Amino acid sequence: MKASILKEEKLLAVLIDPDKFLVENTASFIAKVNASIATHIFVGGSTVEVDATETLVTEIKKYTTLPVILFPGDVTQITNAADAILFLSLISGRNPDYLIGKHVEAVSKLKSTNLEVIPTGYILVESGKETAVQRVTNTQPISQNEVDKIVDTAKAAEFLGMQLVYLEAGSGAVNAVDLNIIKQVKAILNIPLIVGGGIRSKTALQSAYQAGADLVVIGTAFEQDEAFFEALKTD
């Protein structure tokens, strides 16, 4: 998977939250992922039981060759069973634990893995309701009206040497990230852009790509209706 996430465009990650997913459904769910346009599988959640991530990732790897990337809410979700990890810094917030603290804690675990570590600037934008990320990290999202602040935050991530920017509206968001924000962030960035949260239709997915998203993350829409995999197929 080495850096493939950093090069190609129009990628789609299916997000699986170990906290909401029944491990016994892995084979049938992953068969659908394999037959879909998805290019990556992200695994993670804001609150996940210890060892649940490793159990789930190990099971997923039995059924797919797609890269499995950790999208961790906490240090306990690190497992060598995956291919890579988004090393997320929550740069929309000002909680030092999620800017650098958890990262220091993670190193002793990461040193004993072969995971590709991908430094990622994670920007939570306001989306109509309080998100789990907001609650767990005790940070405020940036208002979607503060476009300049979002754009400058994304560029600061690039200047800091991060390899990806992730614009996040939050899982199950009422409002996805505004297309104008995606456009403006993409215009200033020289690194790939991930967009996720509240995308639940083929039109919304295509609009996000057209606005400049290199990789879109979708979780809830697949959780709620596996027929959505079919609906996304290109004609």
207 annotated ligand binder = no
Of 27 and 174, CB closest to ligand 1GP: 174
Q: Is 198 annotated as a binding residue?
A: yes
> 119 or 172, CB closer to ligand 1GP?
172
On the 0-12 / 13-18 / 19+ scale of CB atoms within 10 A, 167 is buried
Q: Of the two residues 12 and 108, which places its CB atom closer to ligand 1GP in the complex?
A: 12
69 within 8 A of 42, measured Cβ to Cβ: yes
Shortest spacing between CB 111 and ligand 1GP, in angstroms:
27
Q: Which is nearer to ligand 1GP, 67 or 219 (CB)?
A: 219
Please give the full DSSP string across 70-110, using - where no structure is assigned.
Answer: E--SSGGG--TTSSEEEEEEETTS--HIIIIIHHHHHHHHH
- Is 168 among the annotated ligand-binding positions? yes
Q: Is 44 left (phi over 0), alpha (psi -120 to 50) or beta?
A: left
Residues that bind ligand 1GP (CB under 6 A): 15, 168, 171-173, 196-199, 217-221
4 is in an annotated binding site: no
Please check if 169 is assigned to a binding site: yes
Residue 216 CB, nearest distance to ligand 1GP (Å)?
9
Q: What's CA 167's distance to the chain center, in Å? A: 9
- Residue in the shown chain whose Cβ atom is closest to ligand 1GP: 196
Could you say which DSSP state residue 24 is in?
A: G
Identify any residues that bridge with 121 across adjacent strands, giving them in sequence order. Answer: 89, 165
For the annotated binding site for Mg(2+), the residues are 17, 46
For the annotated binding site, the residues are 17, 46, 166-172, 197-198, 219-220
